[in-house]
């Protein structure tokens, strides 16, 4: 009985009216705990994803965000707005006022008002305490997480995100929470002087991004974490109309947004390795691996995962082997694979393009795939050990092994000149000329972006044509 009374008292004490939403809300996390949780998670985000290194862009994003926060119901939180260095198209909020917008989403925003809409939406998740409730519901982020990626031995980023509690960032908010955050984004943007009509425009652009949903294994894209953007376009209209009533002096500021993204890295950052066709190139670590040209390559700061086809459980994996302790390459390889739960079937020391290596075949079991065979090489390069491996279900391994071997044997060191010649794709500003089409402009970019994606990036339908004389965003090849 005493315990029941204590629980009821705790719930009563933690239930209060949220000033942002005007609704009663059970809060099992105090504001100081919320801030502490956000600080800890922010340090992990910075480590796992990295922060994009551009001081001018960082100052611009933080300035827009702080302006929104200043007109919110919680202006005294330690607000931070940063650009996560990932090509995924997303934005997310940590408890306590730590907001991230990814490098990948920025080229798809066509003016400062749309940027304010995204940052205002995420600010709303914090003021409405949705992000804190996500952490509370997940018991500090350690329970209730969904599997976000391929479960491979040693596949670090998503496993670590889940274990550290960051995986909770990528649980979908409910439809009600999303609409509430949209409404708060409209409120904050309009209070700060930006056109609230940019919010549904931003949602419409994001809803078109099925073809352009930037892939990054470390960060799911907006469509995976923010449900039904196109359906929300209609839902948010009443809030836009209310915020716009009697006002006509709202700011859009497209030129400021163009200046902000001019020169922005598009796609992979060479600091984390870069994909060129079927090749993975890491100029900083001076190596290259060639994978089958038609396979899908997903790169993250800690590993590369390559898949043959969406409907096949045939993969390749490239990763740095951590915590390498004493022993020769054979002992390191066998210990690493044994720790990952794989049993060796055969193997031998070898040389791959002049690098000491151990190549073996291993048998094991992977969640959601079952029993697999793996061909793996552990290779010493510049004092580090890298594993290049391919695995498939037992009955599919024989037909895939030649592809595995070809890629494994392609691992080679890069010369200093080759490394210096690697440059990222970047966003550039271009003035549309007579006769230009999205196809012809994409072709001028070296084919690194689809015409449909280029149209979406500039706020139009893929079937439309660019307007002569208009300044637009394009992507130039590295």
pLDDT surpassing 90 at residue 255: yes
E-state strands within 382-441 = 384-393, 412-413, 425-431
CA distance 114 to 404: 45
Q: Which of 127-131, 251-255, 290-294, 395-399 has the lowest mean pLDDT?
A: 127-131
> What six digits make up the tokens of 300?
């993250």
> What six digits make up the tokens of 255?
């030129």
Task: Name, in order, each residue with C-beta under 8 angstroms of 82's C-beta and a sequence gap of 6 or more.
Answer: 46, 51, 58, 61, 62, 98, 99, 100, 101
Q: What is the pLDDT of residue 20?
A: 64
* CA atoms within a 13 Å half-sphere pointing along the CA-CB vector of 78: 13
CA distance 117 to 182: 8
pLDDT tens digits, one per residue of 112-142: 999 999 999 999 999 998 777 776 655 433 3
Identify the top-confidence range among 12-16, 21-25, 45-49, 448-452.
448-452
CA distance 293 to 296: 8
pLDDT surpassing 60 at residue 395: yes
Indicate the helix (H) or strand (E) that contains 132: helix 130-137
Q: What is the pLDDT of residue 49?
A: 83
Total-model pTM: 0.80
Q: What is the pLDDT of residue 27?
A: 62
Count helices and strands (H / E) in the chain.
17, 19
pLDDT tens digits, one per residue of 339-369: 889 999 999 999 999 999 999 999 998 877 8
Nearest partner of 362 among 403, 395, 397, 396, judged by Cα: 397
In order of 8, 14, 135, 336, the CA distances from 5 in angstroms are 5, 14, 25, 52
Q: What is the pLDDT of residue 392?
A: 94
Exposed / middle / buried, residue 450 (Cβ in 10 Å: 0-12, 13-18, 19+)? middle
Angle at 192 between CA 189 and CA 197, to 5 degrees: 35
Q: What is the pLDDT of residue 31?
A: 85
CATH number of 425-476: 3.10.350.10
- Are 273-420 and 425-476 in the same CATH fold? no
Average pLDDT for 8-22:
54
pLDDT surpassing 50 at residue 7: no
Q: What is the pLDDT of residue 151?
A: 24
Beta carbons of 112 and 194 less than 8 angstroms apart: yes
Q: Which of 185-194, 316-325, 360-369, 412-421 has the lowest mean pLDDT?
A: 316-325
Q: What is the pLDDT of residue 47?
A: 82
Nearest partner of 118 among 247, 110, 433, judged by Cα: 110
Q: How many CB atoms lie within 10 A of CB 215?
A: 18
CA distance 319 to 303: 5
Share of the chain above pLDDT 90, in %: 56
pLDDT tens digits, one per residue of 323-336: 777 789 999 999 99
The pLDDT-based confidence of 337 (bands split at 50, 70, 90) is: very high
**CA 268 distance to own-chain centroid:** 11
CA distance 439 to 434: 14
Question: What is the phi/psi pair of residue 473, to 5°?
Answer: -95, 135
Strand partners, 356: 351
CA distance 46 to 27: 27
Q: What is the pLDDT of residue 154?
A: 30
CA distance 374 to 365: 10
Going from N- to C-terminal start, the domains of the chain cover 35-265, 273-420, 425-476
> What six digits make up the tokens of 359?
């190549």
The pLDDT-based confidence of 200 (bands split at 50, 70, 90) is: very high
The dihedral through the CA atoms of 180, 182, 185, 187 has a sign that is: negative
Beta carbons of 272 and 301 less than 8 angstroms apart: yes
CA distance 369 to 391: 10
Task: Name, in order, each residue with C-beta under 8 angstroms of 458's C-beta and a sequence gap of 6 or more.
Answer: 110, 466, 472, 473
Beta carbons of 81 and 99 less than 8 angstroms apart: yes
Average pLDDT for 252-260:
97
CA distance 376 to 405: 9
3-state DSSP of 100-140: EEECCCHHHCCCHHHHHHHHHHHHHHHHCCHHHHHHHHCCC
Indicate the helix (H) or strand (E) that contains 376: strand 370-381
CATH tag for 273-420 (out of 3.40.50.261, 3.30.1330.40, 1.10.240.10, 3.40.1000.10): 3.40.1000.10
Q: What is the pLDDT of residue 213?
A: 53
First to last CA, the chain: 69
Beta carbons of 228 and 172 less than 8 angstroms apart: no
Task: Name, in order, each residue with C-beta under 8 angstroms of 144's C-beta and a sequence gap of 6 or more.
Answer: 137, 138, 168, 171
Task: Name, in order, each residue with C-beta under 8 angstroms of 70's C-beta and a sequence gap of 6 or more.
Answer: 192
Task: Name, in order, each residue with C-beta under 8 angstroms of 424's C-beta and a sequence gap of 6 or more.
Answer: 265, 266, 267, 268, 269, 270, 274, 478
Q: What is the pLDDT of residue 89?
A: 87
Q: What is the pLDDT of residue 212?
A: 53
Q: Which of 276-290, 295-309, 361-375, 396-410 has the lowest mean pLDDT?
A: 295-309
């Amino acid at each position: 009985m005493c315990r029941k009374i204590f629980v009821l008292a705790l719930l009563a004490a933690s239930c209060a009216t949220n000033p942002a939403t005007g609704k009663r809300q059970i809060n099992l996390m105090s504001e100081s705990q919320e801030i502490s949780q956000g600080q800890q998670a922010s340090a992990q985000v910075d480590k796992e994803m990295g922060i994009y290194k551009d001081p001018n862009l960082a100052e611009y994003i933080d300035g827009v965000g702080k302006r929104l926060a200043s007109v919110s119901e919680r202006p005294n939180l330690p607000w931070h707005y940063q650009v996560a260095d990932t090509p995924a198209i997303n934005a997310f909020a940590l408890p306590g006022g730590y907001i991230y917008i990814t490098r990948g989403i920025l080229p798809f925003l066509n003016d400062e008002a749309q940027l304010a809409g995204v940052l205002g939406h995420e600010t709303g998740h914090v003021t409405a305490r949705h992000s804190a409730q996500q952490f509370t519901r997940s018991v500090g982020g350690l329970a209730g997480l969904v599997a976000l990626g391929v479960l491979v031995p040693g596949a670090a980023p998503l496993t670590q995100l889940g274990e550290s509690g960051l995986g909770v960032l990528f649980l979908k908010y409910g439809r009600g929470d999303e609409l509430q955050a949209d409404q708060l984004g409209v409120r904050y943007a309009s209070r700060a002087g930006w056109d609230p009509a940019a919010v549904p425009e931003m949602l419409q652009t994001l809803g078109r991004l099925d073809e352009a949903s930037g892939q990054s294994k470390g960060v799911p894209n907006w469509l995976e974490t923010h449900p039904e953007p196109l359906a929300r376009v209609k839902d948010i209209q009443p809030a836009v109309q209310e915020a716009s009533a009697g006002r006509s002096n709202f700011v859009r500021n497209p030129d400021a947004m163009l200046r902000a993204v001019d020169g922005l890295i598009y796609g992979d950052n060479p600091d984390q390795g870069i994909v060129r066709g079927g090749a993975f190139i890491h100029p900083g670590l001076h190596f290259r691996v060639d994978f089958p040209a038609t396979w899908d390559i997903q790169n993250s700061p800690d590993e590369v995962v390559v898949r043959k086809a969406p409907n096949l459980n045939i993969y390749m994996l490239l990763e740095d082997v951590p915590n390498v302790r004493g022993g020769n390459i054979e002992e390191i390889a066998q210990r690493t694979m044994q720790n990952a739960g794989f049993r060796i079937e055969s193997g031998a020391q070898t040389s791959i393009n002049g690098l000491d290596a151990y190549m073996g075949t291993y048998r094991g079991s992977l969640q959601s795939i079952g029993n697999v065979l793996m061909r793996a090489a552990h290779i010493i390069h510049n004092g580090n050990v890298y594993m290049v491996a391919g695995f498939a279900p037992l009955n599919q391994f024989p037909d895939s092994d030649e592809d595995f071997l070809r890629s494994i044997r392609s691992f080679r060191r890069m010369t200093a000149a080759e490394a210096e010649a690697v440059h990222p794709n970047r966003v550039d500003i271009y003035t549309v000329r007579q006769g230009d089409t999205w196809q012809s402009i994409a072709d001028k970019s070296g084919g690194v972006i689809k015409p449909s994606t280029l149209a979406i990036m500039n706020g139009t339908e893929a079937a439309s044509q660019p307007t002569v004389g208009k300044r637009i965003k394009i992507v130039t090849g590295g």
